[in-house]
A and B are shown apart, each in its own frame.
Chain A
Amino acid sequence: MEQSVCFLLLKNMQRIRTMEELCAELYTQEKIRGFLHLYIGEEAIATGVISLLSASDNVLGTYREHGHALLKGVSAKAIFSEMFGKIEGCSKGRGGSMHLYSVPHRFFGGNAIVASGIPQAAGLAMAAKRLNEKRRTVCFFGEGAMCEGAFHETMNMTALWNIPLLFCCENNYYAMGTALHRSQSQTDLVKKARSYAMEAESVDGMNIFEVVEKTKTALDYIEHNQKPYFLEFKTYRFRPHSMFDPDLYREKSEIEKWKRQDPIIFLKKEMTKSMNEIEMKQFTRDCENLNHEISVEMSEAIAFAEAARFENFSEITIEGQ
């Protein structure tokens, strides 16, 4: 992979990381309220997958979707404004953290009901195929969603009807606080997916090169065969499930072990491993500039969200009573 491509991936992972860290800070300052689920540790998945998509492609996420929205093109201004509950938010402040929508960016949520977006993604993929639109559809969900009927029903329908949908399972090993092996009889998720006569692969979700490579294979397959494809990305969230989660169900040592596989650190190491001293210095400077650029982007977005206004009650339409 070319250095400039790697650097763009690094930039986008870092944008998500920085945004999420700021969210946590703003949450403690009570600027952001409600539920807040952070993507820290899992950035390589959204970054790698979305790097292969175009503006016209459809993406559906879960309630841990800030990063996906950002990389699909929704501005940090619109995302922070949404989390601040302001009218300039991408859902006018009515949705908050879990309900980011942006039709111009073909980003269809943001869904707070586990697995609920999966059949909807199948419908979007079917519509694109029927209407002869050149757009791909990708849906993200956690491994916990694989216990929901909606997931299984959609796997069956898409395989049965050749619906070109990419299923991206972000397996972070915990459905809120319940470990995979404590909630699923078959923990080999690829095996489970293949039982629907669907192509499926497992991916190291901490390794962005593998994410890009295997997603590319999947997207090519979908395009040529007009059939669905299932990818399991093995990953880990470094933060608790939400801001309310005391994280009592995981060993500190387990978290530390996964943190050593930090996808951002991994990419930086890979990018620099054959660099000489001069190149290394340049890379360090580039990273500093990058961090500065991201910090400007995010602080401007936060300032924008601060200054934005709340929607007045009189502006919303209430059905007649």
Chain B
Amino acid sequence: MKQTYREALREGLKDVLIHYQNSFLIGEDVGAYGGTYAISKDFLKEFGSERIIDAPLSEVGFMGLGIGAAMGGMKPIVEIMTVNFALLALDQIINTAAFIKFMSGDQITLPLVIRMTSGGGRQLAAQHSNSFEGWFAHIPGLIILTPSTIEDARYMLIHAMKENTPVIIIEHALLFNTTGEYSDERADYSLYKARVIKTGSDLTLITYGGMLPKCMKACEEMSKIGKEIELIDLRCLRPLDTETIYASLKKTHRVLIVDEGWKSGSISAEISARIMENCFYDLDTPVQRLCRKEVPVPYAPQLEEAIIPQYSNIVQKLKEMLP
């Protein structure tokens, strides 16, 4: 049975709201409006206004409230409409959510899940197109998840709710209408394990989030010319599953990282550095990266397209890197 990413997210959210009576969803327009991306459409009717809370435009306020509710024994799901607005709530996310367990001498654990969308590609211009997944992955005390498949859209939240560490789930806005086969949850489902989407022996292609469909298409194109790419979906940017990365590159000896964030100080930089530190002699060629060009995202379509890595750029880069 085919399902959209949107439907999968919706089902996952519904499951946890039914399962955890102490959980609630709070965020801008999650109730009457139905969620900006219609993830919580009709939930207000089903769960009531105590469980589906339409928040005022107060990101720092309702993020702090979610943290306090988690300290008080509830299981809040705080939705920030987009990662761009999360900047307004950074003090709460970093200075408290991420730090409080350690800072309090391990007394306070926060069962808190934060959801947000991210990414460019829809002509929304600079202030609505950020890709800060890797930036959040800088912070100890947080778990950063980037669901990019239907399976993860369906099951990641359910597993995130079991954590006692704050989890940020970042959903790329271009994925909402993607479709895939609905599957039952696998027995070995793990939040932390990167997934080999396609095996191959010629090169390891590492990506996450919104770049996955483009990378999958590029791999298909490469297969046509007889090059088998091993494609890794990171799924979780913190903690980072380096084991899967190293195992793959020890087989292929070539690595390309595709990251929608800016190159400077990015998660791709981190992965590249770890490969250099740990697997330098397994490489046949330097690690390469395709990232967002280092300017704010413009509105004009031709410029936006040129700035965010595209399928054709990936194919071209792969060809350059292979003998």
Chain A residues in the interface with B (C-beta under 8 A): 58, 89-95, 99, 101-103, 108-109, 111-113, 116, 118-128, 130-131, 133, 149-150, 153-154, 156-157, 160-161, 316, 319-321
Contacts and interface: CB of A to CB of B under 8 A. Distances in A.
B239 A116 contact: no
Interface in B53-82: 53, 55-56, 58, 60-74, 76
B145 to A, nearest CB: 15
Given A101-B104, A101-B107, A319-B239, A124 B72 contact: yes
A101 B108 contact: yes
Interface string B155-183: 00000000000000000000000000000
**Which of B50, B67, B72, B102: most chain A Cβ within 10 A?**
B72
B223 interface: no
Contacts of A95: 103-105
17 contacts: A91-B104, A91-B105, A92-B105, A92-B106, A95-B103, A99-B104, A101-B100, A101-B105, A103-B108, A113-B96, A124-B71, A126-B65, A127-B69, A128-B72, A130-B69, A154-B61, A319-B238
A6 B177 CA distance: 68
Interface in B283-313: none
Given A90-B105, A122-B65, A153 B56 contact: yes
A99 B95 CA distance: 12
Given A113-B91, A119-B62, A154-B64, A94 B103 contact: yes
A18 to B, nearest CB: 25
Contacts of A90: 105
Interface of B: 22, 50, 53, 55-56, 58, 60-74, 76, 91-92, 95-96, 100, 102-108, 140, 238-239, 274
Given A120-B71, A131-B73, 4 more contacts: A113-B91, A113-B95, A119-B64, A157-B55
Nearest to B95: A113
B71 A123 contact: yes
B74 A122 contact: no
Given A91-B105, A95-B105, A153 B69 contact: no
A247 to B, nearest CB: 28
**Which of B91, B105, B274: most chain A Cβ within 10 A?**
B105
B65 A108 contact: no
B56 A120 contact: no
A130 B102 contact: no
